[in-house]
A = this chain, B = another copy of it.
């Protein structure tokens, strides 16, 4: 049995934050201190009430704070309670999206990063992808090899072609690189959902982009890291041009999970 702080707990003295916030921070620190892992159970409401010497409502607000940050989940019933939870990628993405809701990001901003990060990703993945994934990538490309006939279809093709990059990002062993590229791709996908871009379509650039993806898969398959990097660089240049002129402010809502 492990002891939470102390009977009448010592929260950070010199209190400025609200009590629920202090409790949440205390629990966070305690989790780290005890080295609790995802899935480990936290003390129940009743126990926390006793340990912290606070009312149920206060404790519950603290739990909501931790839950909102994605750090715990809660279940009712016997054997229920609060459990340490690994912050999910979706949650992290939504939370970070809230930040950029207030910063006016442009498409150019995102591409400034994509232009250097996507080639780096491609180079690092050359020769490391499974056959099944390479086939999945090719299947993805096939879904937009025919010109779109309707505007909806075109929009969906665009989202699908972005999914190509999300698939790649998921393969990186670098969690930071993986998360970031996925994040940017989602931002761009959301854009295509909320706005009707790409009219009139630039068919030439579009087909060129598809060609790059095909060549990229080949380079990845044979493990040619240098070629993969170069192809992706060219691809990003094309994609950026395809997006150009769509500079308007980007996001109109909070990102949902």
Give A residues with C-beta under 8 Å from B.
18, 20-21, 24-25, 28-29, 32, 38, 57, 60-62, 64-71, 74, 86-87, 89, 91-92, 95-96, 98-105, 109-110, 112-113, 116-117, 120, 124, 174-177, 179-180, 184, 252-254, 256
A27–B71 alpha-carbon span in the complex (Å)? 22
Summarize A's interface: helix, strand, loop or mixed: helix
A254–B26 alpha-carbon span in the complex (Å)? 12
A211–B100 alpha-carbon span in the complex (Å)? 35
A96–B224 alpha-carbon span in the complex (Å)? 34
Known: A112-B177, A124-B112, A177-B113. A92 touches B99 (CB 8 A): yes
A185–B69 alpha-carbon span in the complex (Å)? 22
A66–B21 alpha-carbon span in the complex (Å)? 12
List 3 tightest A-B contacts by C-beta distance, closest first: A92-B99, A103-B175, A68-B68
A96–B66 alpha-carbon span in the complex (Å)? 14
Is A96 touching B92 in the complex (CB atoms < 8 A)?
A: yes
Residues in chain B near residue A70, CB distance under 8 A? 98-99
Residue in B32, B38, B89 whose CB lies within 8 Å of A253: B32
Residue in B64, B92, B100 whose CB lies within 8 Å of A68: B64
A33–B103 alpha-carbon span in the complex (Å)? 18
A25–B176 alpha-carbon span in the complex (Å)? 28
Give the Cβ gap from A168 to chain B, nearest Cβ, in Å: 15
Closest to A254 in B: B28
Residue in B18, B20, B120, B175 whose CB lies within 8 Å of A116: B120
Residues in chain B near residue A21, CB distance under 8 A? 67
Residues in chain B near residue A174, CB distance under 8 A? 109, 112-113
Residues in chain B near residue A100, CB distance under 8 A? 175-176
Is A254 touching B60 in the complex (CB atoms < 8 A)?
A: no
Residue in B92, B99, B124 whose CB lies within 8 Å of A87: B99
Closest to A178 in B: B103
Give the Cβ gap from A39 to chain B, nearest Cβ, in Å: 11
Is B92 touching A69 in the complex (CB atoms < 8 A)?
A: no
Is B64 touching A176 in the complex (CB atoms < 8 A)?
A: no
Residues in chain B near residue A92, CB distance under 8 A? 95-96, 98-99
